[in-house]
A and B are shown apart, each in its own frame.
Chain A
Amino acid sequence: MTTETLLSQQQAVIAEVLEAYPDKAKKSRAKHLGVDAPDGVKGACDSTKSNKQTIPGVMSQRGCAYAGSKGVVWGPIKDMVHISHGPIGCGQYSRAGRRNYYIGTTGVDTYVTMNFSTDYQEKDIVFGGDKKLKAALAEIDELFPLNNGISIQSECPIGLIGDDIQAVAKAYKKETGKPTVAVSCEGFRGVSQSLGHHIANDMIRDEVLPDGSYRKDFESTPYDVAIVGDYNIGGDAWSSRILLEEIGLRVIAQWSGDATYKEMTTAPKAKINLLHCYRSMNYVVRHMEQEFGVPWMEYNFFGPSKTTESLRKIAAFFDETIQAKTEAVIAKYTAMTDAVIAKYRPKLEGKKVMLYVGGLRPRHVIGAYEDLGMQVIGTGYEFAHGDDYKRTKDELAGSTLIYDDVNEYELEAFVKKLKPDLVASGVKEKYVFQKMGLPFRQMHSWDYSGPYHGYDAFAIFAKDMDLAMNSPVWGYTKAPWESK
């Protein structure tokens, strides 16, 4: 398809979907949809409205602040118990769904895949639940003596009924001397997961980073770094860590995939914080820069091109020994990834992809697809801000449909019109597109595969995309007796 026809198709389909809305919603949605290209002209990435209220009554794919705090930022810290504070549902629906891998004896010294809930009943709503919370904290400490702290993740009612969880946490912390952090991340706050990330970051800033006990005797080296904003989904942080260690750096902390409380407190000892998911953890790296003077740098470990570029950028911050080692590491792995590309690119070349994810992935994975010869023709974020879209522009290779907080109605229409060969999004969307006979990969959970970060992971990514695109099952949709 020529750029021109693609562009006109993209513009036409936006006009088409907007027609379905009542006036008010149409006006609002028009500001979130557009087309952009890398040619320097102002496009949708410069103007798209984002981080705004979702219009009511649609199937938005967005989550809530609790999901952003408990589900994303705090939940993966493995040696702390995270309480879903309020009614039973939130903790149950979010239990063990995110594939935050960790090493530990679950239930004994680590707790990530478990669900701790205060299971609010009507009486707690009416009379308040602070006493219950206090008693719950004590029960946890009695039954899980090896926990290294407790976080309290508020669900909607907490902030509405006026419970003072901050006071309960403070008192308990004073009494026991153990980290006890109350996070007011009620689901109704903000417009998406995003505010939950911010609130969660603020509580790390206020309640975790001031704890200098592990920093006191910390023996630093000139090569200490922290991985920030990697939730170790399917082991992503591990396949990143190995590269940083191979180029001679020392990863002193992982935030927050496979993290321990101790690592959360030692990150300020890093010479530089390496930030993968900008959206969910930019707040706290900025704080560490101001408070502790630790600089930070964004990187992208999806696909060999971006991984190599990022490794060089990271190495440039350090000395020549690191830079030399980095080149050796790049050379070593490039031989492998070149072989992966030689194996899979011919089977994937020219295929078109539409993405709809959150965090960093709508822009970060574009390069990985391009390494396989695939073209991203549409992308969008569930909960981005303007700075995410600005960063996206740099990644675009051609005319690209941009959609912010796209709902199911719109995404379905876009896909039907632009006919990508692959849709890469979340579980709620997965079966909609598979029903249409379209290959689909979940890009939140790596569709139960992964990791996808780093060189080794790229081999898995390539294999998974090939598996999705070239499975024989997509050929059976039409029965042999049906006319063509």
Chain B
Amino acid sequence: MQDVENIVNGQKLFLKPEYQEVFKNKKQFEGHAGATNPEKVKDVAKWMTSWEYREKNLAREHITINPAKACQPLGAVMAALGFENTMPYVHGSHGCVAYFRSYFTRHFKEPTPCVSDSMSESAAVFGGLANMKEGLRNCKALYKPEMIAVSTTCMAEVIGDDLDAFVKGARGEAEGELDSTYIPAAHTPSFKGSHITGYDNMMEAILKTLTPEEEVAKDEERINIIPGFETYLGSLKEVKKIASMFSDKIVMLGDHEEQWNTGAGEYKLYAGGTPIEVAKSAKGAKATISLQKYTTPTTGKFIKNEWKQEYVTCNPIGLNGTDAFVMKLSELTGKPVPAELAKLRAQLVDAMQDSYPYMHGKKFAIWGDPDFLLGVVSFLVEMGAVPVHVLCHNAPRKGWEKEMQAILDKCTFKEDCHIWMGKDLWALRSLLFTEPVDFMIGNVYGKELYRDTKIPLIRIGFPIFDRHHLHRYSISGYEGCLNLLTWITNAVLDHLDEETKDIAQTDYFFDCVR
């Protein structure tokens, strides 16, 4: 029973003997092997760590287990929230939207605005036009957006709703209420690509919609930056800061930094974002830089073909990536690298030289989105670490593997490194048991891998539901790279302390100075 002076929640309540007795007693009614044949559980658990199991597991083709990717509309919601006063609108069932909102909110600990037009059986039979007509008007009336960014769910895609015609039809029947509202619409089927594809499709649709038909004045000093599906809000901030050191004419298209970082005191439905007017003049820029090459191929094609301007990709994660980004800005602006940036770089390199012994030769498993991996794996290699398992569930078919291999080829221990494309985290479990590593880098779903393999998890990625505020930091630029260095080095040191804290056993190595 609870002790009123020391009330405990489930964590400790169920450790009390009377509850342990409840668990023991329940077993007689239970049918899982843990209750009926605990020895068998041990045997099977052991078999699951074997090479034999690994081979069966990696040969698996039809069932995906513990994926490391999500579906298109999630990315579309992020792209939409990068623009000022914009409401993401999902044409489909509202269940999807409940999921997107919870998913982002659990990660950012912030509200995530997004509406749906609640399609159900009747829409499945008759199409979703009626939902769209009523939905756009209700959305406008209640939330007063300047732009409503429409994406689709698999339901709308399967029944073949004609999105452009629907938007046009809805606008036509809105008695003028939608006349001044931009309504980009993107097909974002969940059965194609992943969340990064949805980001790309929505970004392209938004830019297409906001590109004026008339000629846009050319501004040779203007540069656009597209961040991609970036979940580190501090990265957006740092990229903008670096850009501003070169010019005040470098702007971000799709800047969702503030939307998920609003202050206490008042709830704002919309916060920050690229102003619509700024997006409308983007065509006149000299160049657009995408920070996530493999997240924005369709957007890139649109920019090259329609805006007819230079489209380049940079990946400012890690030292080399940030250097390349900085030099690209220098080249495009015709300005030398500012002394302040050079100083930040020098400070970072100094820090890397301080900490390198703890990362050098350490084996890592890492998973995440393709561009995230190119950046963070590059950083691991820069530090002399060994990315033994690089797993990309949503790896693009073209180009990515070659680019990743080129990074791994620079690794001092390159023969130990493997790229796993299209594999899930249950496959990684087998890889970790058969070819173990020292540390894992990944999202919250690595937590069960940590429990099962005991390999420490360093939480860098998306989503992270069980640690707070990491998304506020940067992993891009020199200062972001310093964050990566700090997190990883200190995780190595924390683990070293764990391993050396046994009194009179290992604690001779429990040093106060490392």
Chain A residues close to B by CB (< 8 Å)? 20-22, 24-25, 53-67, 78-79, 83, 86-95, 97, 101, 103-110, 113-122, 124-125, 132-133, 135-136, 139-140, 142-143, 145-146, 148, 155-157, 159-161, 187-191, 193, 214, 234-235, 238-239, 241-242, 245, 251-254, 258, 260-263, 266, 332-333, 336, 339-340, 343, 407-409, 412, 426-437, 449-451, 455-456, 459-460, 462-464, 476-478
Q: Which 10 A-B pairs have the closest CB atoms?
A: A64-B95, A262-B31, A89-B71, A57-B135, A56-B135, A93-B99, A57-B138, A79-B32, A56-B117, A87-B190
**Which residues does chain A contribute within 8 Å of B496, judged by CB atoms?**
none
Contact B115 A336 (CB under 8 A): no
**Which residues does chain A contribute within 8 Å of B121, judged by CB atoms?**
188-190
Contact B7 A460 (CB under 8 A): yes
- Whole-angstrom distance between the alpha carbons of A290 and B40 in the complex? 39
B window 1-20: CB within 8 A of A: 1-2, 4, 7-10, 13-14, 18-19
- Given the known A-B contacts A105-B34, A146-B40, are A119 and B95 also in contact in the complex, defined by CB atoms under 8 Å? no
Contact B29 A252 (CB under 8 A): yes
Contact B31 A79 (CB under 8 A): yes
Contact A89 B2 (CB under 8 A): no
Query: Residue of A at shortest CB range from B69?
Result: A88
Contact A122 B192 (CB under 8 A): yes
Residue of A56, A106, A239, A262 near B118 (CB, 8 A) is A56
- Given the known A-B contacts A88-B69, A266-B29, are A156 and B134 also in contact in the complex, defined by CB atoms under 8 Å? no
Chain B residues close to A by CB (< 8 Å)? 1-2, 4, 7-10, 13-14, 18-19, 22-23, 25-26, 29-35, 40-41, 44-45, 48, 53, 56-57, 60-67, 69-74, 89, 92-103, 105-106, 109-121, 123-124, 131-132, 134-143, 153-155, 158-159, 177, 189-192, 194, 262-268, 426, 429, 445, 448, 451-452, 465
**Which residues does chain B contribute within 8 Å of A159, judged by CB atoms?**
124
- Given the known A-B contacts A117-B67, A234-B10, A459-B2, are A435 and B262 also in contact in the complex, defined by CB atoms under 8 Å? yes
Contact B141 A21 (CB under 8 A): yes
Contact B95 A63 (CB under 8 A): yes
- Given the known A-B contacts A87-B71, A87-B191, are A54 and B94 also in contact in the complex, defined by CB atoms under 8 Å? yes
Residue of B22, B64, B138, B268 near A58 (CB, 8 A) is B138
Contact A53 B120 (CB under 8 A): yes
Contact A88 B111 (CB under 8 A): no
**Which residues does chain B contribute within 8 Å of A101, judged by CB atoms?**
10
**Which residues does chain B contribute within 8 Å of A252, judged by CB atoms?**
29
Contact B9 A21 (CB under 8 A): no
**Which residues does chain B contribute within 8 Å of A156, judged by CB atoms?**
92-93, 153-155, 158
- Whole-angstrom distance between the alpha carbons of A67 and B266 in the complex? 32
A–B Cβ pairs within 8 angstroms, 26 of them: A20-B142, A57-B140, A59-B114, A79-B32, A88-B194, A89-B74, A92-B70, A93-B70, A93-B100, A93-B103, A106-B452, A109-B32, A114-B66, A121-B192, A139-B63, A143-B56, A156-B93, A156-B154, A241-B26, A251-B29, A428-B98, A428-B101, A430-B111, A451-B10, A455-B1, A460-B9
**Which residues does chain B contribute within 8 Å of A136, judged by CB atoms?**
62-63
Contact B1 A456 (CB under 8 A): yes
Shortest distance in angstroms between B167's beta carbon and chain A's nearest beta carbon? 13
